[in-house]
Every structure is written in structure tokens, then in C-alpha cells.
Structure 1
Amino acid sequence: MPRPKRKEQFDSGEICIVHAMQRCVRRAYLAGVDAQTGKDYSFRKEWIRRRMEALASVFGIDVLSYAIMSNHLHVILRNRPDVVASWSNSEVAIRWLRVFPGRRMEEHLAEPTEHEVKALAGNAERIAEIRLRMSDISWFMRSLAEPISRLANKQDECTGRFWEGRFKAQRIVDEAGLLACSMYVDLNPVRAAMTSDPEKAPHTSAFDRIQASQGKRIDSAAFDLKPVPTAEAAKQIRETPIEELQKMQKEKKRSPTGKRIRRDAWLAPLTLSPGKLSSEAEVNRDGLRASDKGFLHVSIRDYLRLLRWTAKQGIEGIAAKVPDSLASSLTDLGIDASMWRDLVWQWQRYFGKSICVGSPESMRQDAKRCGKHHHQGQAAASVCFV
């Protein structure tokens, strides 16, 4: 059965949450240790993480959870057209030009100038089109995948695909599905037997949140959202040798804003703010992410406790009872606590072929939205819910 059209799964003008998965071509370990040559490409995981962090600072899309593996990538995204609507035309223009600077004669000319921002902001038709793209998950994934492909091909001195094809997408339709999917994503390195402890699994959102709770900070990869004064850019190009300009540009790419941030500051907060209306945009003003809106009615402390407990249940046939203090959170979401371990560890059995994730009732409602009777996986998942 062919994959559904993107417009059937999500719309850039409607807030929705999507689990996206992108594989390397031929499932090769292009971001890990190549079994054929023995070369270690694990450093490319940080390329991908930093690129996601940079895109989170300019797109109207929240990164909720992620896991970067040796041959594939998982990321849970929430598009925010309400946040994009709050940006001025100039803000939309500088954000777009940071990601897509256009064709330049030299790399050192890739800094957007005030004149370019003003010219683009004044084109009402073009800005309206860009606004839609800034909250479009497909454009986010495209902006993530293409630069990584170019970098890897340049390094390997080859051409061709790095990623297998278009990313797989699953729409997450309720909080029960979101909690289970977040756990599944964060525990990918544990399921792959790369580690037995989420605290020792870098390049996952769980690792970033744990490190942040311990006070760890990193150099920010967020884009600088201030355009270069046109006169200053012209003077710099006239008076500075090309080699020096290229060196300056390379140094700025390492940390465009020069800030050091909490390791998880670019991720959406995990816990929804109490007392906040669901319709509030909660726009982030620090230029690190789209918004300050959380995504679960669970504290970070309880989430990490449940994550660590679930990580220990990986041995087939051995499943302890979920502690009562954690089981209540699952029951409140309609999840059968006795099936929680199975739901996360056997994710592919329940949702591997589905384009929708959630409780059977929520999946049924989403099927109606799409003009269908039901979604694939709906019946199988029903055993995990009450």
C-alpha cells in the first residue's frame, strides 16, 4: 500500500504533532561504525543534532523528542502556525534567509543584509508563501536532510543519496500516544542494545534533559536573527581578504550567537504549564525555539522515573509491575499499566505500519477526518488501552 499524501496527514496551517523517521540509504551505518570499512562516522550524529537545534531557532516548529541512531533518525515535531502568525514580515524574512540564503558567488557572502531582509519583507505574496513553509513539517525535514547529505558526500568524495527517501510520518492524535511514542523514541538506543541506561545514550532528548538537570551547558547552534547592516557588509567585502572572510564565517557557524545555553534549551519543555490555556501560543523570546509550550501533563521528574523503569524491562518475558506512583499517570491517559512495557518495547507490533498513533478511539476519530473507516494498527493497539 503506498504511503498517504502529506496533506492527508498534516497541514502547515493546523497545529498537529508528528513522529517522523528518516533512514539512511540501504540502512547503512552512515552515522555510526561502517561494518564494511570499519570507519567510525558517529561524529555525524552531532552534525544532525546541531542542525536540528539551528532549525528549531528559526522554524515555527517545536522539537519535542528525538533520537539519532547510526542508520536512522527519529524526531517528534509539533508545528506552530499560531507562533508564525505572531512574527512580523521582517522576522519571517530573516528566518527564511538564514536557512535559504539563495545563490551566492562565495560562501563568505551568505550573511543576509538589512537590504535583502527589507526587500523580501516587502514582497507580500512571497512572504505569505514563506509563512506557510515556516510551520510546514515537510520543509523542516527537507532543511534538515539536505545539508547533512551534502556534508557527508563532500567528506566521502562521492555523490548520490545519503537518506533513503522521503521520511515516514505518523500523526500523534492524543496524549496517550504522545507519551508512549516519546518513550519509544528516547529508548531507541536501549532497544538497540547500545546502552542499558538512558543517561548514557547521547543524541537523544532524554539525555539532553538529564544533562540539563545536572547543570550541563553547550554552545548554542541557534541562528543569529539580526541581519548584517548593508553598509557594513559592503565595507567588509571590499576591505577584508576572502580567506579572512571565509575564516570568520566558519567560526560564526560554530556558534552564530556566541551564547552558551542549557543543553535542552532548544527543545520544547516537557511539562505543560499549569494554568495556561491550550490556545496560548507561549512564543519563545530568546530565539532558541518556537515556543515555551510543554506537551505532556507529566512532570520531568515522573517522566524520567518512568523512562528509567521502562528501560529496565527490556528482557523478553520479564516485566515487573509498574510502581503505583507511576501507574496512575498511565491510567489517567487510558493506558493499561500492565501493558505499558509491551506497548513501548513492542512498538513496531502495534504502530509499526500505522500512519496514526493514539488510543483506539482517537485513531477512529482521525480516520473519520481522513474519510476512512479505521487506521491500520487500531485493533492491535486496543489491547494496550482501557
Structure 2
Amino acid sequence: MPKPRKALVSLDATPYYHCVSRCVRRAFLCGEDAQSGKSHEHRRQWIEARMKALAAVFAIDLCAYAVMSNHYHVVLHVDRARAEGWGEKEVIRRWRELFTGHPLVQRHLAGETLLQAELALVHELVALWRSRLGDISWFMRCLNESIARGANEEDQCTGRFWEGRFKCQALLDEKALAACLAYVDLNPVRAGMAETPETSHHTSVRERIRAALATGLTQPAHLLPFVGNPRQAMPKGLPFRLEDYLELVDWTGRILREDKCGAIPASLPPILERLDIDPRHWVYMTRHFESRFKGLVGAAYRLRAACQALGYRRTPNLAVCRELLS
């Protein structure tokens, strides 16, 4: 039985999460349907644009994404400190970009004098909205509901667009994060939809490469930047160098395209050495990350600590995490 979100998301364990949503019956509702001949490719742009719009409102950063024909992947970073630092007016402003809001809050913003009980309710609502603006479930709800409504209106039909609730994996350490980022960015290459990462439409890696080529390693504003290897006084961002990551994705993509599972080139990207990842394990993970790992992903000791904090009776994924990530 699937675990509830509160048993999978623990910001004390990690702020990084990989989420996946699939179309109902896994139909090509965001791509070109070979049976009906209809093309819904434009909906991939809907999803990409909505992700970026929500990231500007929520205290949640986009790390990576890939929008496919019948599903999408997104890696999110929850910035709890940013949400806690917002004032009441900022929380209200952000929430009202998505929803109308409570009439009492509108009266409060208009400068009307409220009773003590009414003012207390306003403070409670703001606290609730602040929590929701840092909540992955609310981010995914606002994303999926918007796309489903638009697609149903376009198709003049009703019913489900997504097959169910989104799948979520917690990324507990750098190894899991790096493997998941590459797994997401290389989705179109694995699926045969693109030859190279830079030609993979509707992916974060394509955006990063285009920005780097155009402006000399400048990074897209709506994506969480790469800030280099972990160190003291580290700025907010992904704990890798952009050049190292792009080299790693290019190296991995070449192996995936040529289908040489057993042939690992002698010249390994330096990032694999720093993370102490066996190259054969790396290639396997970037092919099977979603299917091989369930729920929590990380080194064995991080996995045990997270499961203990979440109150699990056993430690799922322990054998595979010990084999591939420890």
C-alpha cells in the first residue's frame, strides 16, 4: 500500500524530492497519439510554463524537469527558510496569485478595522497559507489541476487527466541527487526522442546548456543554480559545479545512446570520483532510478536515519542503496 505524503516528506532529512505524474492509462495526452493521429505536443509547453510560474510563487525551487509525451518528471528543492522569512503581506500576495483568498483577508488588506477574533482568523489563515506555499503536495496540486482543466476544456470532455496521485522520492544525499538529476535530464535520450541533451526539448538540461553557451555559463533564473562543491558559507544551490554536471550528462548520454552497458570509457568525469560512485553503478542508476528505488533514496546510513525519524518499522531500499550508493 502506498505511504501517505507525511511518511515520505521530511524536510529535516532532505529538502530535495523527485516527483512524477503520469497521464491516465499512460495515454499520449501530452504528445502525438499514433492511434488517433491527434497532436497534443503544445501541452508539454503548458506544463513547463506552469512549473516555472509556480516556482516563482512557492518557496520551492526547480532543480530539474523533463516533460515527456505521457508523463513528466520534476526535481524540487523546498526552501523552508525562505517561506518562514516572508511577512504576512508577502504571504497573502503570493497566495492570491493562485487563489482568491478569504473575504476577511481582503477586508484586512483594504484597511478595514477588524474585530479581535477576525484578526486572529486572518493570522491563522496566513500561517496556513505560508505552510502550503512550502508544501510539495500543494505545488503538485496547483500544477496538475491546472493542466487537467485546460486539457479537458480543449478536448471538451470530463474525467481524469492524471492517473492518480504523483509519485515522490526523497533524495537523501549528493549521490542520490546527482543520479536523479541525470536520470530526469536524460529521459528523452533514453526514450529515443532526442539524440543529445542539448536537443532534448522541454528539459532543464537543454535550458542550462543554451544559457551556458549564450552567456558564458550564466544559469537560467528560474532554475536552482549549481554553486560548486560543498564548502563553508556555501550559497543556496545544487552542490556541484555546472561544468562538471554538464560533462557528466554528456558522458552518460553517449553511453545510453550507443547502448554500451558494458563498455565504460577510461576517461571518467571527475564528479564521479568526488562522489565515489562506481561508473557501472552510475550507468545502471541513470537507466533505472525510478523503478529501482522506492520512496527514500540515499546511502545506507542516511536511509536508516531518515526511516527512524519518520517512524518506519523497517528500512525499505536498504539492500539496493547499500549496493549502489554506499
- Normalization by structure 2: what TM-score? 0.88
Change (3 A) 1:365 1:13: closer
Q: Which amino acid counterpart does residue 312 of structure 2 have in structure 1?
A: K
1:350 corresponds to: 292
Contact 1:67 1:205 in 2 (8 A): yes
- Structure 2 distance, partners of 1:24, 1:139, is 19
2:220 corresponds to: 264
The secondary structure found in structure 1 opposite 2:206 is: helix
2:324 corresponds to: 384
The secondary structure found in structure 1 opposite 2:319 is: helix
After the TM superposition, which of the residue ranges 204-213 and 315-324 deviates more from structure 2? 315-324
Aligned 1:365-376 pairs, distance under 5 A = 365-372=305-312, 374-376=314-316
Residues 230-269 of structure 1: per-residue CA shift (max 9 Å, x gap): xxxxxxxxxxxxxxxxxxxxxxxxxxxxxxxx88210110
- Matched residue count: 315
Aligned 1:16-165 pairs, distance under 5 A = 16-101=15-100, 116=109, 123-165=122-164
TM-aligned CA deviation for residue 347 of structure 1: 2.4
1:285 corresponds to: none
- Structure 1 distance, partners of 2:169, 2:185, is 16
Aligned mate of 1:341, from 283, 287, 299: 283
- Structure 2 distance, partners of 1:355, 1:36, is 34
Contact 2:304 2:315 in 1 (8 A): yes
Contact 1:273 1:294 in 2 (8 A): no
Change (3 A) 1:10 1:347: closer
- Structure 2 distance, partners of 1:178, 1:80, is 16
Which consecutive aligned stretches of 4+ in structure 1 deviate over 6 angstroms post-superposition?
112-115, 117-121
**1:359 pairs with 2:302:** no
Which ranges of structure 1 fall in alignment gaps of 5 or more residues? 105-111, 217-261, 283-292
Contact 1:190 1:311 in 2 (8 A): yes
TM-aligned CA deviation for residue 118 of structure 1: 6.2
Change (3 A) 1:268 1:358: same
Change (3 A) 1:133 1:348: closer
Change (3 A) 1:276 1:95: farther
Residues 133-178 of structure 1: per-residue CA shift (max 9 Å, x gap): 0100000000101111111011000011111111011111101100
Contact 2:228 2:242 in 1 (8 A): no
Residues 271-330 of structure 1: per-residue CA shift (max 9 Å, x gap): 25876636xxx6xxxxxxxxxx2122x211111111011001120544323524x2x422
1:311 corresponds to: 253
Q: Which amino acid counterpart does residue 295 of structure 1 have in structure 2?
A: L
TM-aligned CA deviation for residue 379 of structure 1: 0.8
- Structure 1 distance, partners of 2:296, 2:8, is 8
Change (3 A) 1:116 1:159: farther
Aligned 1:181-260 pairs, distance under 5 A = 181-215=180-214
Q: Which amino acid counterpart does residue 214 of structure 1 have in structure 2?
A: L
Change (3 A) 1:192 1:159: same
- Structure 2 distance, partners of 1:317, 1:11, is 35
Change (3 A) 1:12 1:374: closer
Contact 2:248 2:271 in 1 (8 A): no
2:237 corresponds to: 294
| CA RMSD, Structure 1 to Structure 2 (Å) | 2.8
Contact 1:184 1:347 in 2 (8 A): yes
Q: Which amino acid counterpart does residue 60 of structure 2 have in structure 1?
A: I
Q: Which amino acid counterpart does residue 320 of structure 1 have in structure 2?
A: I
TM-aligned CA deviation for residue 3 of structure 1: 0.9
Q: Which amino acid counterpart does residue 160 of structure 2 have in structure 1?
A: R
- Normalization by structure 1: what TM-score? 0.75
The secondary structure found in structure 2 opposite 1:101 is: coil
Change (3 A) 1:61 1:176: same
